[in-house]
A and B are shown apart, each in its own frame.
Chain A
Amino acid sequence: LNRLPLSGRPRLAQAPLLAPAAILWIVLFALPLFSFLVFSFWSVRARIMRPDFTLQNYVATIREYGDVLLITLGMGLIIALATTTLAFLFAYAIRFRAGRYGDMLLFITLIALFGGYLVKIYAWKSILGRDGIINGFLMWTGAIREPLEILIYSHGAIVVTLTYFLLPFAILPIYGSLRAIPEDLIEAASDLGASSLQVSRDVVLPLCERGLGVAFLLSFLISVGDYVTPRFVGGGASMMGHFIETQFSFGFNWPKGSAMSFTLLAASLALVILCRTLLRRLLRP
């Protein structure tokens, strides 16, 4: 780009092009999030929100939901690790192992993006449910007499359903950074005597750090904030999102719901930064 005569032009010339997106970002994202943060310091008396500056909502969040918060972060970590690992292996297979079937696998990944979130949760509910497909099949073959109760309404069901939903979203950014790795770099490394495992670890993995980071971040943050999957396939195994949603639908305690949201966000960001540091150490010894 820099070789073009454009580079001499003042940067402000791009401002009108960026203005609509910037206005949208400020008015529909930054301002609402800021006012939402302000609400978290308000208090509620007789079911009415009152302007205030109290940390009471945050104290209550830690005291009442501290254990739920830890479970939620743990679940998010498990789901993000499972999703990112599967997505990396599959993207690696598309790029380096599948040969002429690569395009077809990429197309299958795109198909898997469709269908919508609720439809996918419903699909797993009907697979894992008490009268569902797995139980029905096992009873039909005679392997079991009574339906297995542990399939649905468990932490495992939440992990499977969310990994299923997030996998195509994670494959695409990782594949994007794998595609940018030139073939001759890999060839050069193996010509110099590196085994395929060494090539993967020392050449491929560090070069797709951005893709891996995006996939991990996306799947972690979507998992910790989710309240639909825990509700429909998780049963009693509830996560933070469920309790936040309750403050808005039944509790009418918006300031507390807001404090719970920002506690969840802050804890998630701290964990993400920790994971990022560890990943950096791991990829660049």
Chain B
Amino acid sequence: MKASAIATAAWSAFIAAVVTFMLLPLALVIVFSFNAAALTSFPLTGFTLDWYARLFANDSFWPALTDSLIIAAAVAILSVMVGVLAAMGLSKLKGRAAMLLLDILAIPMMLPALIIGIALLSFFVRVLSLPLGLPTVILGQLVVIVPFVVAILYARLSNFDWSLVESARDLGASPLTAFATITLPIIRPSVAGAALIGSGNTLPTLVWGMVRTSLDPTINAIATLLLGLSIGSTVLALRLLDYRR
């Protein structure tokens, strides 16, 4: 009895330590975005919204936000479209063949982003002579996001009963109607999850510049906004898709 009580206490302490490790840094970022002092350091000196005001007055903030939202929306929509189709195709294959294809498809997700990034950059610039801009950023994001989407959806679809689709088709429903009315309602919580990974991955160049040049609490403010935006969009997407049911 005593040994198991010690084990339980040890596991609780371990869980508490890991939870603290995972959440405390983000919590500190949020707290210091409202702290009056210019240095990110305890003790706290008082509540302020100055850092947010300074951020909103920054000329490069609004265009950066707009671009990020455009990229996120385009990547989410395109990756879910491609991903849903691929996951459906894979789930109809034999388990081994599907796993092999999934592993091949997942290689871009595994490789260092730096190497994929510069390989794409040199391909766009040297081979295709494309101008760099929002479209090339969206294409670059798709390469890494689509495997995530396919993997999530495949996991959900592979224990999904295809006979439901077959019987709807037998009753005269077109494959598309069958997809929209039966397949999508069953997989949609996963589609939402996949779409969110798609949009949560955009790299804000504004933060890049700020982190490089200064340790200013304005970064805390933009970090808090990004955190709120990503969690908020998750909750909103789950609401829209009626996840509670």
Confirm or deny: A150 has a beta carbon within 8 angstroms of a beta carbon on chain B: no
Confirm or deny: A93 has a beta carbon within 8 angstroms of a beta carbon on chain B: yes
Give the contacts of A21-54 with B (CB-CB under 8 A): 21, 24-25, 28-29, 31-33, 35-36, 39, 49
Confirm or deny: B132 has a beta carbon within 8 angstroms of a beta carbon on chain A: no
Flag if A248 contacts B118 (CB, 8 Å).
yes
How many residues on A have C-beta within 8 angstroms of the other chain's C-beta atoms? 84
Minimal Cβ-Cβ distance residue in A for B109: A218
* CB 8 Å contact bits of B186-216 with A (1 = contact, 0 = none): 0000000000000010011001100110010
Give the residues in chain A near B163, CB-CB below 8 Å: 4
Given the known interface contacts A116-B200, A261-B115, the answer about A254 and B93 at a Cβ–Cβ threshold of 8 Å is no
Confirm or deny: B143 has a beta carbon within 8 angstroms of a beta carbon on chain A: yes
Give the residues in chain B near A176, CB-CB below 8 Å: 155
Flag if A4 contacts B122 (CB, 8 Å).
no
Q: How large is the interface on B (under 10, 10 to 19, 20 to 34, 35 or more residues)?
A: 35 or more
Task: Report the minimum CB–CB distance from B7 to chain A (whole Å).
Answer: 8
Given the known interface contacts A6-B92, A116-B204, the answer about A140 and B223 at a Cβ–Cβ threshold of 8 Å is no
* CB 8 Å contact bits of B139-161 with A (1 = contact, 0 = none): 11011001000100001001000
Give the residues in chain A near B139, CB-CB below 8 Å: 28
Flag if B92 contacts A136 (CB, 8 Å).
no
A24-B105 Cα distance, complex, nearest whole Å: 10
Task: Report the minimum CB–CB distance from A60 to chain B (whole Å).
Answer: 18
Confirm or deny: A14 has a beta carbon within 8 angstroms of a beta carbon on chain B: yes
A21-B146, A131-B41, A137-B41 are known; give 7 further A-B pairs, CB within 8 A.
A24-B142, A29-B116, A31-B123, A32-B124, A39-B126, A49-B126, A221-B111
Instruction: Please name 28 pairs of A and B residues whose Cβ atoms are closer than 8 Å in the assembled complex, sorted by A.
Output: A1-B162, A4-B163, A6-B166, A16-B89, A17-B86, A18-B86, A21-B146, A28-B143, A32-B120, A35-B119, A36-B122, A86-B18, A90-B18, A97-B15, A105-B19, A112-B23, A118-B211, A122-B29, A126-B215, A127-B25, A196-B7, A221-B111, A225-B114, A226-B114, A232-B212, A258-B118, A258-B122, A261-B118
Residues of chain A at the chain B interface (Cβ within 8 Å): 1-2, 4-6, 11, 13-21, 24-25, 28-29, 31-33, 35-36, 39, 49, 86, 89-90, 93, 97-98, 105, 108-109, 111-127, 129, 131-133, 135-137, 140, 164, 167-168, 176, 196, 217-218, 221-222, 224-227, 232, 241, 244-245, 248, 254, 257-258, 261, 264-265
Residues of chain B at the chain A interface (Cβ within 8 Å): 7-8, 11, 14-15, 18-19, 21-23, 25-26, 28-29, 32, 39-43, 81-83, 85-86, 88-95, 97, 101, 104-105, 107-108, 110-116, 118-124, 126-127, 139-140, 142-143, 146, 150, 155, 158, 162-163, 166, 200, 203-204, 207-208, 211-212, 215, 219-220, 223, 226-227, 230-231, 234
